[in-house]
Structures are given as structure tokens and as C-alpha cells.
Amino acid sequence: MKQPELFGTNGIRGVPNEDLTTDLAMGIGKAIGTFFNGGKIAIAKDTRISGDMFMLAVASAIMSTGSDVIYVGELPTPGLQYYCKSKGIPGVMITASHNPPQYNGIKAIDKDGTEIDEESEIKIEDIYNGKLFKQASWEKIGTYNYDSTAIGLYMDSIVSMVDEKAIKERRLNVVIDTGNGASYYTSPTILTKLNCHVVSLNANPDGKFSSRNSEPKPENLVDLISVMKTGKFDLGIAHDGDADRCVFIDEKGNYIDGDKSLALIVKHTIQKGDIVVTPVSSSDALENICREKGAKLISTRVGAPIVARAMIDNNASIGGEENGGIIYGKHQFCRDGAMTMALMLNLLTHENKTVSSLLEEIPDYTMAKSSVARKKSWEEIKKLLMENFSGKKMDFTDGVKIFDEDGWTLIRPSGTEKIIRIFSESPSKSLAEEYNKTYMDFLANL
């Protein structure tokens, strides 16, 4: 099957004025406008300093095709997606999500609020490569308008999906680190609406992400972890640059891996007969939980749009990835950091237990992650893996998943960077780390 060349796992990304130029942005903008063929197209951006440049380039290109552009502001990607779903119009998000500040990107959103599928991405690329752009006559060129209601619409929708009254009565003590990204206003405000006692870190827009790196990994959350170790708070929360992901710190200051927070939220959200969707990179803990609850688990290739499409096709209630990206189908079919945050508040309120005690109920698996630079083509790497580890069971749903005696390792090319990602899991921490090192060393020496 043909794969998109410009669109990666989550849109087009690159370094401004290097591999992501305004010429490329305008060409893609024209292709998007041509593909959606008239009407209105919403556009938003995160806080990156190159956001205005790319937003204006894409917007002007879309208008040249005869579509009207509605700028809805600086807000999380799921905020734009909810607006698109609510209004029934497509959209474009200018973001590089968790990538460092020197990156930016372009993500296309469908009329139902989901990220466009691969087939649509290929059609947009074909329009771009063939310069098959629609060009409106002077009197039919699109207009540019601003709609300030998107942020309020999004925040109110999040609050409406949880037990607002109970959470307000619980009055949880929460620390949130928005990392100078797109959630700097929305997530602290949602917490305030839910009557939490809120301490905010880095809740100011800063396109250089001066306070910390955008990806919410433990090494980037030193300040948040330090505050949580004071023992004065119930929950620590952190987002990435565009806030489609959310990770947590427990009341003792311990970082909670994304696979564990996903398992915890799934366990306290699903009922018998429900369907859960997750990529092959997710923890086996989810399979155990679904079996225990009488729910069905469906595994897919890695990528939030792929998970979302599978959820729609199978009428799944919840899904997500091990990186803190949870998709709550009852709200919208996309990763949503604020919705994930609200679901965690909801279960803490109803269970009336600490986060650490709730995590003790989750099947205990350890996941080790690493990456190496991709020096050869993926097809060459895949062939070498199959030849050198031919005696082991393998799965090729996405990349190569190799099963060892008491665990597994998934090896796949990143859709956003020129690296190979390596995920290893086992009930034994030492084995997970051993498996990860074995395959990392093999790939590094190719």
C-alpha cells in the first residue's frame, strides 16, 4: 500500500526555513484548500515562534483556492479538533506537538474533528506534487475571519464529560506544568472550573519553551516532580507542546509511565462488552485489564489517527497510546490531554484513593524505551532483523515486534524523526532493560 511521503505519523514536520519552508507551507495550503474544495476551513497554532509565519502562509494559500479561513486562536490541537467537529468544517493545525522548539509542522483535520486518514494525505500530496491547485478568480478569493469562541467551547465540553459536581466537592490539590505550550490557558482554567486548588508551572506562552523541553518525559519535569515531592498535592499534570498528550506525577512525586496511566483510566472507564483500541506498542497490562473486565482489545499500527479510525470503525469507547495520548470516544476521536486530565480527576474523585494506591491494582509490567539513528533504509533494517532473530516469534502489524521468553520488543521507524524507536516490555524490569539494550546495540552497530 502506498504511504504518504510528506505526512508522517502526525502531520508534516520540519525545521523552519530548512526542510519546512514557507514555499512548502503555501504549496500544502493550496493543496489542502483544493482537496476540501470550498467552504470554510478553521486554522489554529500552538505557541512556537514560527507559528505566525506558517499560519499566515497556509491561510493565504487556502484563501487563494476560494475557501474562507477562520482563525480560532492559539489553543491545543484537540481544541481545534473539537471546533471542527462542532461546526462540521475541516481545519489545519500549525504545530510540531512534542518536538523541540526549532521544529514546526502542519496537520490537517477532517470535518468530524479527526486527523485526516492516509488516503486523504496521499491525495493532498498528489495535488501538491502535480501542482493541481484550484485557483479562484479575484471575486471568489476566500476571506479571513477570527472566531474567539473555540477556546470556551472546548473547555466547556471537557467539563461536561465528567462528574462536575463530585469533582468540585472533592476539591483536589493539583499542580500543572503546561510547558509554555498551547494549554497555558485552557488546562489551568478547566481545573479552576472544576474547583481544584491549582498551582501552575510554566503557564505562559513561550515559543522557545525556555522553561523545559516540550516532551513531558521525567528528565523534563524536574520542577513538577520536585513540587509533588512536598507531599502537599494529590496529582501532578504535564502536557506536551500542543496538549494532545497528558502525563501524571503521583502524590509522592513519582512519574507515571504513559502505559500505566492509560491502563488505569481504561480500567476505571470501561464496562463489560466495551471495545478498547491501542497500538501494538502498548503494554500487555491493557490486555489483562480488558480480559478481567470482559472488554475486547483491538491492536493497530502506531499513530493516533490510525487508533482513532479503528475506534470509529469498531464503535470503541476508549483507546490510546503508551505516550500519554488517550482518545475518549464519547467526547471526540482524537488524543486529548485535557480530556485525559479530567478523566483522571473523575476516577480519583469516585475511587477516593491516592494515585499510587490505584496504580498498585494495575498489572505490573516494565517498559524500557530507547532510540537509535536510522542509518539504513527501513526495509534493509527489517530484513536484517528477520535474518538475525529468525528463531523468534515475530509480528509485523507495525515495524517488527519480537517476542522473547518473558517479554517483547517492538522496533519501528519513527514517523516524525530519522530514528528507529525501540520499545521493550517484561514483568521483570531487568529483563525489559536487557531486551532493550540487546536490540539497541544490534541496531546501533548496523
DSSP of 91-146: EEEE--TTS-TT-EEEEEE-TTSSBPPHHHHHHHHHHHHHT------GGG---EEE
What gap in Å lies between CA 145 and CA 424, rounded to an integer? 48
Q: How confident is the model at residue 5 (pLDDT cuts 50, 70, 90)?
A: confident
Q: Which grid coordinates belong to 91?
A: 481545519
Bridge partners, 297 (sequence order):
276
pLDDT for the residue 303: 85
pLDDT at 1 over 70: no
Rounded to whole angstroms, the maximal C-alpha distance in the chain is: 68
SS3 readout for 393-437:
EEECCCCEEEEECCEEEEEEECCCCCEEEEEEEECCHHHHHHHHH
Q: Are 245 and 98 a contacting pair, CB within 8 Å?
A: yes
Tell me the C-alpha distance between 392 and 249, whole Å. 37
pLDDT band for position 10 (cuts 50, 70, 90): confident
- Let me know: does 400 contact 394? Beta carbons within 8 Å: yes
Residue with cell 523541540: 100
248 strand-pairing partners? 237, 256
CB 75 within 8 A of CB 182: yes
Decide if 120 is catalytic.
Answer: no
Measuring CA to CA, which residue among 92, 87, 77, 82 is closest to residue 30? 92
Out of 97, 120, 183, 370, pick the active-site residue.
Answer: 97
Characterize 400-412 residue by residue with b for buried, 16 or more Cβ atoms within 10 angstroms of its Cβ, and e for exposed: bbbebeebbbbbb
- Separation between Cα atoms, residue 299 and residue 320, nearest integer Å: 10
Residue 413 pLDDT level (bands cut at 50, 70, 90)? very high
Measured over the CA atoms of residue 367, residue 373, residue 379 and residue 385, the dihedral's sign is: negative
Q: 23-73: per-residue pLDDT in tens?
A: 999 999 999 999 999 999 999 999 999 999 999 999 999 999 999 999 999
DSSP 8-state class, residue 414: -
With bands split at pLDDT 50, 70 and 90, how would you rate the model's confidence at 92? very high
Which distant-in-sequence residues (6+ apart) come within 8 Å of 434 by Cβ?
none
Percent of the chain with pLDDT over 70: 99
**Cα angle vertex 89, ends 84, 93, to 5°?**
55
127 by DSSP, 3-state: which?
helix
Q: What interhelical angle do 51-64 and 22-36 show, nearest 10? A: 40
Q: What does pLDDT average to over the chain?
A: 96
- Provide the percentage of residues in the chain whose pLDDT is more than 90: 93
How is residue 16 annotated by DSSP?
Answer: B
What digits encode the pLDDT tens for the residues 160-216? 999 999 999 999 999 999 999 999 999 999 999 999 999 999 999 999 999 999 999
Tell me the C-alpha distance between 50 and 330, whole Å: 34
- For 164, phi then psi, to 5°, come to -55, -45
User: What does each C-alpha distance from 68 to 42, 291, 387 come to in angstroms?
Assistant: 8, 49, 54
pTM, whole model, 2 decimals?
0.92
CA atoms lying within 13 Å on the CB side of residue 146: 5
What is the model's pLDDT at position 9? 73
Q: From CA 20, how far away is CA 105, in angstroms rounded? A: 8
Question: All 3 cell numbers of residue 413?
Answer: 521507524
Instruction: Please give the domain boundaries of the chain with CATH numbers for all domains.
Output: 12-148 (3.40.120.10), 153-359 (3.40.120.10), 366-444 (3.30.310.50)
Question: What is the tens place of the pLDDT at every residue in 369-411?
Answer: 999 999 999 999 999 999 999 999 999 999 999 999 899 999 9
H helices within 139-270, ranges in order? 150-160, 164-170, 186-193, 222-228, 258-267
How large is the angle between the packed helices 337-351 and 186-193, nearest 10 degrees?
Answer: 30
Angle subtended by helix axes 150-160 and 337-351, to nearest 10: 30
Task: Select from 265, 262, 275, 263 the least CA-distant residue to 313.
Answer: 275
Locate 197 and state its grid cell.
486548588
Which pLDDT score is estimated for 402? 98
